[in-house]
Structure 1
Amino acid sequence: MNIDVIGKKDGFVIRLAKAEDAIDYYEQNYCPLDKEVARLTGCKEAFSKEEVISFFMKSLEEDDRYFFLIIAPNGEIIGESVINEIDWDLKCANFRIGLYRQTERGKGIGTWATEITRDFAFEVLKLHRLELDVYSFNARAEKVYLKAGFQREGVLRDAVLDGEKYADDILMSILESEWKELKKAE
Structure 2
Amino acid sequence: MGNKRPVSFERDVKWVQDVMMNDSQTTIYFAVTEQGKDDIVGYTSISEIDYRNGTCFWSGIKLDTRIAGKGWGTEVGLKILKFVFEELRMERCKGECLEEHEAGKRLMLKIGFQVDGLMRSAVYKNGKQHNQYIMSVIKSDYLHIKNERSL
TM-score of the two chains, using structure 1 as the length reference: 0.68
2:25 equivalent among 39, 63, 68: 63
Q: Which amino acid aligns with 1:173?
A: S
2:67 equivalent among 88, 104, 125: 104
Distance 1:65 1:166 in 2: 27
Judging changes above 3 Å, is the alpha-carbon distance between structure 1 residues 85 and 53 closer, same or farther for their aligned structure 2 residues?
Answer: farther
Measure how far apart 1:123 and its partner are.
0.6
Match of 1:174 in 2: 137
- Percent identity at matched positions? 24
- Once the two structures are superposed, residues 105-163 of structure 1 have per-residue CA deviations (whole angstroms, 9 ceiling, x without a partner) of 10010111011011110011100110111111211111111111111001112333564
Judging changes above 3 Å, is the alpha-carbon distance between structure 1 residues 90 and 65 closer, same or farther for their aligned structure 2 residues?
Answer: same
What pairs up with 1:6-155 in 2 under 5 angstroms? 47-60=7-20, 61=22, 62-72=24-34, 75-155=38-118
Distance 2:50 2:15 in 1: 21
Measure how far apart 1:86 and its partner are.
0.4
Gapped runs of 5+ residues in structure 1? Answer: 1-43
- Once the two structures are superposed, residues 39-69 of structure 1 have per-residue CA deviations (whole angstroms, 9 ceiling, x without a partner) of xxxxx79622343233323333212122110
Is the 2:60–2:95 Cα contact (8 Å) retained in structure 1?
no
User: Secondary structure of the equivalent of 2:32?
Assistant: strand
Q: Return 159-168 or 48-57, whichever deviates more.
A: 159-168
User: Secondary structure of the equivalent of 1:69?
Assistant: strand
Distance 1:46 1:104 in 2: 28
Distance 2:120 2:69 in 1: 27
User: Secondary structure of the equivalent of 2:66?
Assistant: helix
User: Secondary structure of the equivalent of 1:104?
Assistant: coil
TM-score of the two chains, using structure 2 as the length reference: 0.82
The number of equivalent residue pairs is 143
Q: Return 93-102 or 170-179, whichever deviates more.
A: 93-102
Is the 1:79–1:97 Cα contact (8 Å) retained in structure 2?
no
Is the 1:85–1:94 Cα contact (8 Å) retained in structure 2?
yes
Gapped runs of 5+ residues in structure 2? Answer: none
What RMSD in Å do the two structures reach over aligned CA positions? 2.2
